[in-house]
Amino acid sequence: MEDRGPQVVVIFTTFLALTWISVSLRCYVRLRIVRLFALDDWLAVATLVLYTLFCGFGLDSVGHGGGRHHADLSRDQIREGLKDWYFSEIFYVLNSSFLRLALAAFLLRVAVKKVHRKFIYTLMTIQIVFNVSYLFISIFTCFPPSFFWNHLMGAKGTCIDAGINKGMTYAQASIAAATDWAFALLPVAMLWDLQMRRKKKIAVGVLMGIGAIASTAAIIRIPYIASVDQPLDFLYATTDLAIWSAVEPGLGLSAVCLAACRPLLDRFKGFGGDGYPTRRGRGRSDGREEEWGRSDFWMQDGEERGEWTGSAVAMVRRAEVQGVKK
């Protein structure tokens, strides 16, 4: 009896633990060091809750036959496994949407130029409009929705054409992957003209690399979407899709949170940071004091507008001196 359930359990638990650690570190930095919990932080926490629910239903599906052939399962097991898969799909769409909202909110805090901000808003508008449509289709892929998992029990109902469902899934995955790559590469344009020390450039590059890996996971997931068109062995056929559906947001959420943990890394000597100012302005490693008023502030076109953190403050001020800020 072929059973890929253990693979699903290992992947899901690994990335669930990774995301909880990453979000916890982010919350520590924002609450204890920066002392300001912004919109992107709340969105990251919401994404973690949705990701936990997604993993919970995915793991429960394994207990009901996920990763095994239908021929080796009872009808009750198949029904419960399909029910878990249905709800995990809904939470996947939700956590995927909130993850990209959190990433957009984070980038908006460090985006100075209007063209970058407009680009971010445009991408998120496309994401929101499409994901709301896709969520509606996911919920009502069958009517009543319970027909999705009760059809083997003689229940009455109808489902939308499989081609429509698969096509929308391909479109959602493609838009998500394109958005991820755009967000992963956007910092290059945002920081291109700024003078940064080599170690800081390396740090930014590492974070961007993590984002690129998460974007690659979204692309790798796309070919496995075809497995949803195998209803006679659905729980086994969709195993790879389930695995990459956990890897993609797990890596993405971890990358977003690690990017926000830069102030924590700046506290370690030799990393290349200048120390991090607290609310009282006492946090520079060279012993000097500087009154920031608060650790984050907003700036756009010379007025208070956007929130910045630690070393980003220094980058913006250097940029203004050099005439880079437009």
Query: Average pLDDT over the chain, rounded to whole?
Result: 80
| CA neighbours closer than 13 Å in the CB half-sphere of residue 195 | 9
Residue pair 315/191 in contact (Cβ under 8 Å)? The answer is: yes
153 within a domain of the structure (yes/no): yes
Q: Residue 198: its pLDDT value, please?
A: 65
305 within a domain of the structure (yes/no): no
322 within a domain of the structure (yes/no): no
Does 322 score more than 60 pLDDT? no
What are the beta bridge partners of residue 275? 284
224 within a domain of the structure (yes/no): yes
Residue pair 160/137 in contact (Cβ under 8 Å)? The answer is: yes
What would the pLDDT profile of 69-123 be if each residue is shown by its tens digit? 999 999 999 999 999 999 999 999 999 999 999 989 988 887 888 998 999 999 9
Number of separate domains in the chain: 1
* C-alpha dihedral sign at 100, 247, 15, 268: negative
Higher pLDDT among residues 14 and 169, named by residue: 14
What would the pLDDT profile of 195-228 be if each residue is shown by its tens digit? 666 666 666 666 666 667 777 888 899 999 989 8
DSSP 293: S
How would DSSP label each residue in 194-261?
----HHHHHHHHHHHHHHHHHHHHHHHHGGGGGGGG-GGGHHHHTHHHHHHHHHHHHHHHHHHHHHHT
155 within a domain of the structure (yes/no): yes
302 within a domain of the structure (yes/no): no
Task: For residue 221, give its domain range.
Answer: 5-266
- What is the CATH classification number for the domain harbouring 215? 1.20.1070
307 within a domain of the structure (yes/no): no
Token representation of residue 266: 């700046």
77 within a domain of the structure (yes/no): yes
